[in-house]
C-alpha cells in the first residue's frame, strides 16, 4: 500500500518506599519545621482576606491583625481612624489592601516584616462621611456632588472610594453604589477607586450629579485562578492554563457551556457531534491520547471530580479553568491525561440580598438546505434510464421533503438567583429552566435546574459549606446518525433521498403516504411523527465540606461528594413504520449511576524572610462508582395507542438484560509551590493511584510532575520598565494516566445464555468462555513537556502567551486480535504509542480604554499534529464506517505513521470518457461513463492495492477572534471561529450521486456523463457512484460568526427611579453565517462522536452519517438586578 501523506518522524525523548515508621517520622519533622519557620519571619506579600462594609479604618485594622500576624504601630492622637470605609479584598497582598485602605491620605504606611507603621500625612485629617450620615454643613465656597459608581455592565459597586483630589476628603458608596460628597471647589477632580478595577479621575466642572463607570483592571497579574485542589495567583503560574470568568462565559447565549468556550480557549477543540437539541459535545484538549479509552477531559465542579457539563446551568458559573499541561493536571493522576476543566459556581457574599433575573427567548432556523432535483427533473432523468421504472402519467406531487421536516423552532431560558450574606453566612439560591425545540419537527430538549450554595463560619477557625444542585432533563430525539435499511435511516437521510414525486399524506387511507417507488424506504414525515424516543435524566450533584485552621497557615479540609444519575429511555416505533409494519417495536432502557468521593487534604501556606513563599498540599482520596441497569424490548403490538407504556401487551417479549459494575479508586497526592521573591517559581506534584479495574500485577501507578518559571520582569534591570509589565518563561514535565477500560476487563469471563443443541431441542442456558484473563493489564501513561512564554506590555494593555508542547502516550489499551487457535477473538492489551505535538498562541489587547469608549480584542490560534507511532506490531487496521452500503463500508484506517481519523479508499480520477481510456489500464469494472480511479502504485491495474490514505478529519489549526466594544451605555460583542484543514466524509453523498434511480439525487447530477467530453465529475445514466474514494471526502474548513450580541444598559437616573440596581436589554445571534466549501449541512459534524463505543468515537472522526443540520439562533433578552 502506498500512502499519499507521511508525517515526518520526530525525535524520540527518553527519560529515565519508605516504611510506615519513616513516613510518620518524616511527616512530624516537616510539621515541626514548618511551625518553627513560621515563627521566624513573615512575608510582606502575605495574602489577606478582608470583607467589611461601612466600617471604620480602626475596625479594619483590627480585623487585619486578627486574621494575620501583622501589627499596627501609630499614634492615636495624630491620626483620625474613625473614617468609614468599605473593603472587599480576597487573598490580596497586604500592600494592595493597605493602599486601598489609606488611599484617601489619612496616613502614610510602611511595612517592616510583621510591623505596619502609620504616620500622619502632614495635612489636617478630615473624617470621610459615610453616605447614610447626614450631610455636613457646607461652607459658602463648597459644592455638593452625588451620583453612583458601577462596573462596565452597570452593576453597582458598593464600597467604592470617592476622594476629592489633593485632599483627604472622601466618602464610600453604599450597597447600591450611591455616594454624596461635599467638595471645596466646584471645579475639583474626584478620584474614584475600587479593588480589582482601574482608578478613574473625573472632573466635576460644576456638575452636581456624576455617574462613574469603572473598568476592570487590565493587569490581571494579581488575579487568583483555580488549580487542582487549590488556588494560585496568576503571576505565580508555571503550567499551561486558560481561565474564563462569568462575564466571558455568559457573553454568549449558547445552550451549552461547552459551546460558549469555542474560540476562547487555545488548545481546546470543541465540536458538536449533533446539532440536535441536547446533542453531545466532544472536547479534545491538545489532541486525542487514546484509541480505546475516553479522550474527553476530566470535569471537576466545585472540587467534585466526575461532573457533567450537560447538567449545569451556565449562569451559575463564576469561573472556569482549563488545565492543559501535565504540571497542572498530574495532581489528578490517572484521570488527568486528557486535560482538566475546573468549574467554580457562584457563591453569596456579605451584604443585602441581591436578586438577578435573566430571561431570553428566540427562534432557530436551519443554516442551509441541500440542492436536490425537483419532481420534474427527477422524473425526466428516471425515464431516460431503461433499467428503471418508467413514469408515464402525471406527477402526483412536487414535495420538498426538507421543508416538510424542518421548522422555525423556539428557544427560551429563564434564570433567577438570590444571593447575599452576613458576617458568618453566605448563600446563593438559583432556579433555571431552559427549553429548546429542534429545527426538525418533534425534536426538543428541556432542562430544569435548582442550586443551593451555602457557606458558614463557626468561629474564627472552622468553616463548613455545601454546593448542591439537582437537574432534570427530558430529550425527545428524532433518528440521527445511525441506522439504514428497514430501520428507516436517519431522518435527514430519508428526506434527502426520498423521491419528490409523491405526496406527504394519503387522504384516501388517512395516513402518511408510503413510498411507491422504493417500498422499503421510509416516508420522512412518518419517521418524524410515528417514532418516539424519550430520554430523561435526573441528576443530583453535590458536596459537603468542612475546613479547620489548625495553626496559622495550616488548614485541613474534608470534602464529601455524591453524584446520582438516573437515566430512562423509552422508545416506540409505530406499527405503520415500514421497518416494523403491522407489529411495532418498543424498548425500555434504564440506568443508574452513583458516585461517592471522600477527600482529606492538608494545605500549608507561609512566607519566610519576606521572599520565600511556600505552599504545600498533601491529601488522600477515595472514590467508588457503581453502575446498574435494565433493558428490555418487545414487538407484536395490536395497537399504537399505549406506545412504550403497553410493552406488556406485546406478543413477542424480548429477553430482559441487567448489568452491574463497580470500580474503586484510592489516591495519595501532594504538591509544593515555591516562589522566591516573586521571580523564581517552582512547582512539583505527585500522585499515586490504585484502581480496581486493573490487573493484580498493576493495581497502582505513579504520576509525578515538575515545572519552573522565571519572572524576568521582576529583575532589577526590568522592574521599572514602562514598556514591559510582565515577562515570564515557563517549562514543565509530567506524567499523567488514563484508565481507559471498563471494569473487569483484566479478568476471564464467561458468556451465559448460549444456545446448546440437544438433537432437535435447543437450550439457552449454556455458558462458554468469552474473555481470556490478562494479569499484566496496566494504565495508559502520557508523558508531557511544555514550554511557555508570557509577555505583557504597557501595564498589560497587550498580553501575549505562547506555548509549545509534546505529548507521548504509551501502553495504549487496545482490543488486540488473537490467533484463532486460542479460541478467543481478541484480548485487551497494552500495545503501541501515539504522540501529539503543537503550538498555541494567544493575544489579548486593550485597544481603547477611555471614559466613554472601550475596545478589547482576544485572538488565539493553535496547531496540533497527531500521529499513531506503534500498534504493537499490527499495521493497516481497516475500519468500517457502519454504512449499509458495502461499497463505502471500509472507509478508514488505523496505521502507524498516520493520525487518528484517517480516511482510506481509492483516489477519484474522473469518468472514463471513451474505450481507449478503458483499454489503457486493467480495470475489471472500467467502461465509458463509469467512475475512474487513480493507479496509485503504478502497476497498470486498478485493484485493492491502489487504496490509500485519502484524507484526515483532524484540522491543521483552529483559531478564534473575540471583540468586546462598549460606548457609553451600549456594548457590542462578536466572536469569530475558524477551523482549517480538516476533511469530512459525507456518506449520504454516495446515495445522492446515483443517476436515474428511484431515490432522489443532488441537483448537480443534471449534468451527468452522456458521451465523451460531457462530464468528468458525474458518471453516466444508471451507473454506480463507485467504491469508497476521495469523491466523498470534502474540505471541512470553515469560518463562522459564532456569536454577535448588542446590548443597552439602562441609565442610572432611570434605574434610581425604578429602584433597580442594573438593567440591560440585548439582542444576540449564534452561528449567523458560515463560510465553507463543504456541500453537506454543516462542516462541524461528527456522527460517530456520540457513539457509545469509545473506540469508534476516537478513530471514526469526521463522518457525516445523516447528521442534524446546522442551526442559526436569534435571541432577545433582559437582565435585571435588584
For residue 82, the domain's CATH number is 3.55.50.30
DSSP for residue 189: E
Contact (Cβ atoms closer than 8 angstroms) between residue 803 and residue 840: yes
Task: Please indicate, yes or no, whether residues 243 and 204 belong to a single structural domain of this protein.
Answer: no
Q: How far apart are CA 263 and CA 857, in angstroms?
A: 12
Q: How far apart are CA 179 and CA 546, in angstroms?
A: 39
Task: Please indicate, yes or no, whether residues 333 and 443 belong to a single structural domain of this protein.
Answer: no
Task: Please indicate, yes or no, whether residues 342 and 411 belong to a single structural domain of this protein.
Answer: no
Q: What is the dihedral of CA 169, 175, 176, 181, to 10 degrees?
A: -10
Contact (Cβ atoms closer than 8 angstroms) between residue 392 and residue 340: no
Task: Please indicate, yes or no, whether residues 175 and 303 belong to a single structural domain of this protein.
Answer: no
Q: How far apart are CA 611 and CA 615, in angstroms?
A: 13
Task: Of 1084, 987, 904, 999, give the one whose Cα is nearest residue 482.
Answer: 987
Host H or E run for residue 998: none
Q: How far apart are CA 618 and CA 603, in angstroms?
A: 7
Count how many Cα atoms sit within 13 Å of the Cα of residue 604 in the half-sphere of its side chain: 20
**Quick count: other Cβ atoms within 10 Å of Cβ 762?**
10
Task: Please indicate, yes or no, whether residues 83 and 207 belong to a single structural domain of this protein.
Answer: no
**Residue 1008 forms part of a structural domain:** no
Q: Show the DSSP H helices in 850-997 as ranges.
A: 915-919, 988-992
**Residue 230 forms part of a structural domain:** yes
**Residue 636 forms part of a structural domain:** no
Domain of 309, CATH number, reads: 2.170.130.10
Task: Please indicate, yes or no, whether residues 180 and 237 belong to a single structural domain of this protein.
Answer: no
Q: What is the domain range of residue 432?
A: 400-476+490-498+506-608
Contact (Cβ atoms closer than 8 angstroms) between residue 731 and residue 787: yes
Cα distances (Å, whole numbers) of residue 753 to 655, 756, 758, 827, 893? 10, 9, 15, 21, 35
Q: How many residues does the chain have?
A: 1122
C-alpha cell at 749: 469471563
Tell me how many degrees the CA angle 833-836-839 measures, rounded to the nearest 5. Answer: 165
Q: How far from the centroid of its chain's Cα atoms is residue 402's Cα?
A: 31
Contact (Cβ atoms closer than 8 angstroms) between residue 978 and residue 1098: no
C-alpha cell at 1100: 471514526
Task: Please indicate, yes or no, whether residues 205 and 302 belong to a single structural domain of this protein.
Answer: no
Radius of gyration of the chain measured on its C-alpha atoms: 33
DSSP for residue 382: H
Task: From 557, 576, 608, give the residue that closes a domain.
Answer: 608
42 in helix, strand or coil? coil
Task: From 186, 217, 248, give the residue that closes a domain.
Answer: 217
Task: Of 159, 149, 128, give the one whose Cα is nearest residue 214.
Answer: 149
**Residue 157 forms part of a structural domain:** yes
Contact (Cβ atoms closer than 8 angstroms) between residue 217 and residue 195: no
Q: Which residues of 436-470 are buried (b: 16+ CB within 10 A; e: fewer)?
A: bbbbbbbbbbbbbbebebbbbbeeeeebebebbbb
Task: Please indicate, yes or no, whether residues 140 and 117 belong to a single structural domain of this protein.
Answer: no
Contact (Cβ atoms closer than 8 angstroms) between residue 217 and residue 197: yes
C-alpha cell at 670: 501532594
Q: Interhelix angle for 94-101 vs 57-67, to 10°?
A: 170
Cα distances (Å, whole numbers) of residue 465 to 196, 301, 398? 26, 15, 64
Task: Please indicate, yes or no, whether residues 229 and 110 belong to a single structural domain of this protein.
Answer: no
Q: Show the DSSP H helices in 447-603 as ranges.
A: 491-497, 524-529
Task: Of 993, 1118, 1088, give the one whose Cα is nearest residue 272.
Answer: 1088
Q: How far apart are CA 590 and CA 570, in angstroms?
A: 9
Contact (Cβ atoms closer than 8 angstroms) between residue 243 and residue 235: no
Q: How far apart are CA 604 and CA 882, in angstroms?
A: 55
**Quick count: other Cβ atoms within 10 Å of Cβ 412?**
15
Task: Of 85, 91, 90, 92, give the one whose Cα is nearest residue 61.
Answer: 85
Task: Of 168, 161, 174, give the one whose Cα is nearest residue 202.
Answer: 161
Cα distances (Å, whole numbers) of residue 542 to 165, 304, 469, 689, 727? 49, 8, 6, 23, 40
End-to-end CA distance of the chain: 69
Work out whether strand 890-894 and strand 902-905 pair parallel, antiparallel, or are unpaired. Answer: antiparallel
Q: How far apart are CA 792 and CA 94, in angstroms?
A: 24
Host H or E run for residue 328: helix 326-329
Judged on CB neighbours under 10 Å (0-12, 13-18, 19+), 104 is buried
Task: From 559, 590, 608, give the residue that closes a domain.
Answer: 608
Biggest CA-to-CA distance, the chain: 117
**Residue 705 forms part of a structural domain:** no
Task: Please indicate, yes or no, whether residues 263 and 192 belong to a single structural domain of this protein.
Answer: no
- What pLDDT was estimated at residue 542? 95
- What pLDDT was estimated at residue 724? 93
Contact (Cβ atoms closer than 8 angstroms) between residue 832 and residue 868: yes
DSSP for residue 477: P
**Residue 763 forms part of a structural domain:** no
Work out whether strand 298-301 and strand 340-345 pair parallel, antiparallel, or are unpaired. Answer: parallel
Q: What share of the chain is helix, strand, coil (3-state, %, to 5)?
A: 15, 50, 40
Number of domains in the chain: 4
Contact (Cβ atoms closer than 8 angstroms) between residue 766 and residue 756: yes
- What pLDDT was estimated at residue 76? 66
Can you list the positions of beta strands (E) in 389-460? 409-421, 425-437, 444-458
Task: Please indicate, yes or no, whether residues 141 and 115 belong to a single structural domain of this protein.
Answer: no
Q: How far apart are CA 842 and CA 959, in angstroms?
A: 10
**Residue 42 forms part of a structural domain:** yes
Task: Of 1074, 875, 893, give the one whose Cα is nearest residue 985.
Answer: 893
Q: How far apart are CA 472 and CA 536, in angstroms?
A: 7
Q: How far apart are CA 89 and CA 91, in angstroms?
A: 6
Q: How far apart are CA 695 and CA 739, in angstroms?
A: 12
- What pLDDT was estimated at residue 26? 39
**Residue 250 forms part of a structural domain:** yes
Task: Please indicate, yes or no, whether residues 162 and 251 belong to a single structural domain of this protein.
Answer: no
Count how many Cα atoms sit within 13 Å of the Cα of residue 384 in the half-sphere of its side chain: 16
DSSP for residue 129: P
In the predicted model, residues of the chain with pLDDT beneath 70 are: 1-46, 75-78, 104, 112-113, 121-142, 153, 175, 195-196, 216-222, 481-489, 753-756, 759, 762-766, 1089-1095
Q: How far apart are CA 1095 and CA 1101, in angstroms?
A: 11
Amino acid at each position: 500500500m502506498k500512502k499519499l501523506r507521511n508525517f515526518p518522524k520526530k525525535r524520540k525523548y527518553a527519560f529515565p518506599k519508605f516504611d510506615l515508621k519513616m513516613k510518620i517520622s518524616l511527616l512530624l519533622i516537616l510539621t515541626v519545621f514548618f511551625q518553627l519557620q513560621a515563627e521566624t519571619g513573615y512575608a510582606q506579600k502575605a495574602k489577606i482576606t478582608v470583607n467589611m462594609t461601612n466600617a471604620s479604618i480602626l475596625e479594619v485594622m483590627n480585623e487585619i491583625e486578627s486574621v494575620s500576624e501583622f501589627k499596627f504601630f501609630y499614634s492615636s492622637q495624630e491620626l483620625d481612624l474613625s473614617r468609614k470605609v468599605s473593603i472587599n479584598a480576597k487573598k490580596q497582598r497586604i500592600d494592595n489592601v493597605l493602599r486601598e485602605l489609606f488611599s484617601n491620605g489619612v496616613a502614610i504606611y510602611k511595612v517592616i516584616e510583621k510591623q505596619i507603621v502609620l504616620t500622619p500625612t502632614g495635612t489636617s485629617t478630615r473624617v470621610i462621611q459615610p453616605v447614610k450620615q447626614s450631610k455636613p454643613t457646607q461652607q459658602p465656597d463648597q459644592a455638593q456632588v452625588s451620583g453612583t459608581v458601577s462596573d462596565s455592565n452597570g452593576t453597582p459597586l458598593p464600597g467604592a472610594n470617592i476622594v476629592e483630589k489633593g485632599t483627604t476628603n472622601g466618602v464610600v458608596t453604599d450597597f447600591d453604589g450611591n455616594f454624596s460628597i461635599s467638595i471645596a471647589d466646584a471645579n475639583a477632580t474626584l478620584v474614584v477607586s475600587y479593588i480589582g478595577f482601574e482608578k478613574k479621575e473625573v472632573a466635576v466642572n460644576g456638575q452636581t450629579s456624576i455617574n462613574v463607570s469603572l473598568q476592570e483592571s487590565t493587569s490581571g497579574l494579581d488575579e487568583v485562578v483555580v488549580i487542582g485542589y487549590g488556588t494560585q495567583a496568576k503571576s505565580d503560574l508555571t503550567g499551561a492554563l486558560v481561565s474564563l470568568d462569568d462575564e466571558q462565559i455568559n457573553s454568549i447565549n449558547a445552550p451549552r457551556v461547552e459551546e460558549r468556550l469555542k474560540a476562547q480557549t487555545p488548545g481546546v477543540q470543541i465540536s458538536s457531534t449533533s446539532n440536535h437539541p441536547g446533542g453531545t459535545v466532544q472536547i479534545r484538549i491538545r489532541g486525542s491520547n487514546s484509541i480505546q479509552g475516553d479522550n474527553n477531559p476530566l470535569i471537576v465542579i466545585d472540587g467534585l471530580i466526575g461532573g457533567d457539563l450537560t447538567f449545569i446551568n451556565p449562569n451559575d458559573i463564576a469561573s472556569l479553568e482549563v488545565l492543559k499541561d501535565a504540571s497542572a493536571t498530574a495532581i489528578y493522576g490517572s484521570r488527568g491525561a486528557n486535560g482538566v476543566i475546573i468549574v467554580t459556581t457562584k457563591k453569596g457574599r456579605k451584604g443585602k440580598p441581591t436578586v438577578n433575573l435573566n430571561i431570553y427567548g428566540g427562534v432557530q432556523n436551519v443554516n442551509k438546505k441541500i440542492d436536490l432535483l425537483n419532481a420534474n427533473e427527477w422524473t425526466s432523468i428516471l425515464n431516460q434510464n431503461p433499467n428503471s421504472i418508467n413514469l408515464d402519467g402525471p406527477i402526483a406531487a412536487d414535495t420538498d421533503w426538507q421543508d416538510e421536516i424542518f421548522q422555525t423552532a423556539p428557544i427560551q431560558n429563564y434564570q433567577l438567583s438570590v444571593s447575599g450574606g452576613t458576617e458568618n453566612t453566605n448563600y446563593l439560591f438559583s432556579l433555571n429552566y431552559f427549553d429548546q425545540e429542534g429545527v426538525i419537527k418533534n425534536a426538543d430538549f428541556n432542562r430544569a435546574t435548582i442550586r443551593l450554595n451555602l457557606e458558614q463560619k463557626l468561629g474564627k477557625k472552622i468553616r463548613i459549606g455545601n454546593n448542591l444542585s439537582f437537574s432534570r432533563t427530558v430529550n425527545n430525539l428524532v433518528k440521527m446518525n445511525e441506522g439504514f435499511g428497514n430501520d428507516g435511516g436517519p431522518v435527514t437521510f430519508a428526506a434527502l433521498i426520498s423521491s419528490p414525486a409523491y405526496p406527504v399524506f394519503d387522504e384516501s387511507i388517512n395516513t402518511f403516504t408510503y413510498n411507491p417507488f422504493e417500498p422499503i424506504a421510509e416516508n420522512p414525515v412518518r419517521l418524524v411523527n410515528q417514532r418516539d424516543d424519550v430520554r430523561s435524566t435526573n441528576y443530583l450533584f453535590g458536596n459537603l465540606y468542612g475546613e479547620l485552621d489548625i495553626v496559622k497557615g495550616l488548614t485541613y479540609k474534608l470534602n464529601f461528594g455524591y453524584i446520582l444519575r438516573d437515566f430512562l429511555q423509552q422508545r416506540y416505533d409505530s406499527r405503520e413504520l415500514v421497518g416494523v409494519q403491522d407489529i411495532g417495536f418498543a424498548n425500555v432502557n434504564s440506568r443508574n449511576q452513583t458516585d461517592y468521593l471522600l477527600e482529606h487534604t492538608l494545605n500549608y501556606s507561609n512566607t519566610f524572610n519576606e521572599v520565600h513563599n511556600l505552599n504545600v498540599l498533601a491529601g488522600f482520596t477515595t472514590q467508588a462508582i457503581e453502575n446498574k441497569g435494565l433493558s428490555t424490548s418487545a414487538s407484536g403490538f395490536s395497537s399504537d395507542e399505549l406506545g412504550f407504556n403497553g410493552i406488556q401487551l406485546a406478543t413477542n417479549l424480548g429477553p430482559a438484560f441487567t448489568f452491574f459494575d463497580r470500580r474503586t479508586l484510592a489516591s495519595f497526592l501532594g504538591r509544593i509551590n515555591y516562589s522566591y521573591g516573586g521571580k523564581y517559581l517552582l512547582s512539583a506534584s505527585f500522585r499515586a493511584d490504585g484502581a480496581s479495574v486493573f490487573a493484580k500485577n498493576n493495581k497502582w501507578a505513579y504520576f509525578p510532575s515538575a515545572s519552573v518559571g522565571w519572572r524576568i520582569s521582576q529583575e532589577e534591570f526590568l522592574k521599572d520598565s514602562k514598556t514591559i509589565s510582565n515577562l515570564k518563561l515557563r517549562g514543565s514535565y509530567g506524567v499523567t494516566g488514563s484508565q481507559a477500560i471498563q471494569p473487569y476487563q483484566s479478568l476471564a469471563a464467561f458468556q451465559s445464555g448460549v444456545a446448546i443443541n440437544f438433537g432437535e431441542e435447543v437450550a439457552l442456558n449454556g455458558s462458554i468462555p468469552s474473555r481470556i484473563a490478562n494479569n499484566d493489564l496496566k494504565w495508559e501513561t502520557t508523558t508531557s513537556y511544555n514550554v511557555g512564554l508570557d509577555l505583557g506590555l504597557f501595564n498589560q494593555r497587550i498580553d501575549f502567551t505562547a506555548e509549545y508542547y509534546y505529548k507521548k502516550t504509551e501502553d495504549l489499551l487496545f482490543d488486540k486480535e488473537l490467533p484463532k487457535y486460542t479460541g478467543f477473538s481478541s484480548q485487551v492489551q497494552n500495545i503501541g504509542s501515539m504522540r501529539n505535538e503543537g503550538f498555541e498562541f494567544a493575544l489579548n489587547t486593550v485597544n481603547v480604554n477611555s471614559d466613554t469608549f472601550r475596545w478589547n480584542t482576544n485572538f488565539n490560534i493553535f496547531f496540533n499534529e497527531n500521529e499513531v507511532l506503534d500498534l504493537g506490531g499490527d499495521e493497516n487496521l481497516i475500519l468500517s464506517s457502519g454504512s449499509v452500503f458495502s461499497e463505502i463500508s471500509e472507509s478508514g484506517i488505523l496505521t502507524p505513521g498516520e493520525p487518528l481519523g484517517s480516511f482510506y479508499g481509492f483516489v477519484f480520477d474522473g469518468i472514463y470518457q471513451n474505450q481507449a481510456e478503458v483499454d489503457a489500464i486493467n480495470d475489471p469494472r472500467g467502461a465509458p461513463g463509469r467512475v475512474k480511479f487513480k493507479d496509485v502504485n503504478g502497476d497498470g491495474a486498478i485493484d485493492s492495492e491502489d487504496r490509500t490514505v485519502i484524507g484526515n478529519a483532524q484540522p491543521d489549526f483552529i483559531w478564534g477572534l473575540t471583540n468586546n466594544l462598549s460606548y457609553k451605555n451600549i456594548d457590542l460583542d462578536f466572536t469569530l471561529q475558524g477551523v482549517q484543514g480538516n476533511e469530512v466524509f459525507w456518506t449520504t453523498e454516495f446515495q445522492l450521486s446515483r443517476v436515474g434511480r428511484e431515490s432522489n439525487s443532488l441537483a448537480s447530477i443534471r449534468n451527468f456523463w452522456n458521451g465523451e467530453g460531457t462530464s468528468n465529475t458525474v458518471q453516466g445514466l444508471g451507473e454506480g457512484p463507485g467504491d469508497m474514494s476521495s469523491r466523498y471526502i470534502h474540505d471541512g474548513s470553515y469560518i463562522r460568526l459564532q456569536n454577535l450580541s448588542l446590548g443597552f444598559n439602562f441609565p442610572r437616573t432611570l434605574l434610581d427611579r425604578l429602584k433597580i440596581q442594573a438593567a440591560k436589554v440585548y439582542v444576540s445571534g449564534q452561528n449567523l453565517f458560515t463560510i465553507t466549501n463543504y456541500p453537506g449541512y454543516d462542516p462541524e459534524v461528527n456522527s460517530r462522536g456520540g457513539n457509545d463505543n469509545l473506540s469508534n468515537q476516537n478513530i471514526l472522526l469526521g463522518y457525516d452519517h445523516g447528521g442534524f443540520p446546522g442551526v442559526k439562533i436569534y435571541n432577545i433578552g433582559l437582565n435585571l438586578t435588584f
